[in-house]
Amino acid sequence: MDTLQTESTPEEHKLVITDVRFRPNSSQLATASVDKSVRVWDAANPNYCGPAYTHSSPVMSLDFHPKRTDIFCFCDNDNEIRYCNLNTLSCSRISKGGTAQVRFQPRTGQLLAAVSDKIVSIFDVEADRQTYSFQGHSEMVNYICWDANGDNLASVSHNLVKIWSVSSGDCIQEFSSNGNQFHSCVFHPSYAALLVIGGISSLELWNMAENKNKKIY
């Protein structure tokens, strides 16, 4: 970002890359792919590709633990979530409930959010148990994101965005697409009440405090 020069990696994956995540406080990153593998890279040395973790089915998403940065998890299209060690590329635990996306709670990493079809599951990683099953979308959930503090989680389907409180387990707000098919979202890093929603035809800014939205592109 200092030079605005483009760096690219070799084409080690044989099929579509489904997710990419940086290892916290590191220049390393990992990629998940439909070719049934997770590969580790170093942005400081883009020609280097570390050893691959090979899996039995397509890997749909991955994420690094924010504090224990040697730990990452991924989900596959068989609805399995696996917790793995980056140093040994070995998996220690397996849970059910994720096919589309997995995201650790920011800062602490105590919770893990996972998407499977129309359901968002919340797992307590430390206690090794599922705490919530968020339901209410009529269409498949495409995307999830935490706010910066890890207090709330947004889930996105084509027709709806829902905001969930992980302390109460309730849906505290929702917003309909009104024709603009939603695809993704991100919370503002400093203003927790602001959510940017990416749609097929526009970007929309949702002010949760005022329960108002406006198109920004």
Arithmetic mean of pLDDT over the chain: 92
Q: With pLDDT > 90 as the criterion, what percentage of the chain qualifies?
A: 75
**How do the residues of the chain divide into helix, strand and coil, expressed in percent and rounded to 5?**
0, 50, 50
Whether the pLDDT of residue 3 is over 70: the answer is yes
| Integer Cα distance of 106 and 97 in angstroms | 20
Report how far residue 122's alpha carbon sits from residue 86's, in angstroms, rounded to the nearest whole number: 23
Helix (H, G, I), strand (E, B) or coil at 65: coil
CA distances (Å), origin 191, targets 156, 164, 182, 206: 20, 17, 21, 12
Q: Token pair for residue 60?
A: 């749909």
Confidence at 7, pLDDT banded by 50, 70, 90: confident
If pLDDT is split at 50, 70 and 90, which confidence band does 217 have? Answer: low
CATH classification code of 139-217: 2.110.10.10
Task: Decide: 181 and 136 in contact? Cβ < 8 Å.
Answer: no
Long-range Cβ pairs for the range 11-17 (8 Å, 24+): 12/39, 12/49, 12/52, 13/37, 13/39, 15/58
Whole-number pLDDT of residue 138: 95
Full-model pTM: 0.92
| Residue 110, strand partner residues | none
**Residue 200 scores a pLDDT above 70:** yes
Q: What is the mean pLDDT of residues 34-47?
A: 92
Eight-state DSSP code of residue 23: P
pLDDT beyond 80 at 89: no
Alpha carbon distance 205, 196 (integer Å): 5
pLDDT on residue 8 = 80
- 36 bridge partner residues: none
**Helix H or strand E encompassing 129:** strand 129-134
Is residue 19 over pLDDT 70? yes
pLDDT tens figures, 93-119? 889 999 999 999 999 999 999 999 999
Taking 70 as the threshold, does the pLDDT of residue 20 lie above it? Answer: yes
pLDDT given for residue 93 in this prediction: 82
**CATH architecture type of domain 1-135:** 7 Propeller (2.130)
Please give the average per-residue pLDDT across 50-59, as a whole number: 91
For the chain, domain boundaries: 1-135, 139-217
Percentage of the chain exceeding pLDDT 70: 99
pLDDT, tens digit, for every residue of 121-151? 999 999 989 999 999 999 999 999 999 999 9
* Two domains, one topology: 1-135 and 139-217: no
Residues 23, 30 contacting (CB under 8 angstroms) = yes
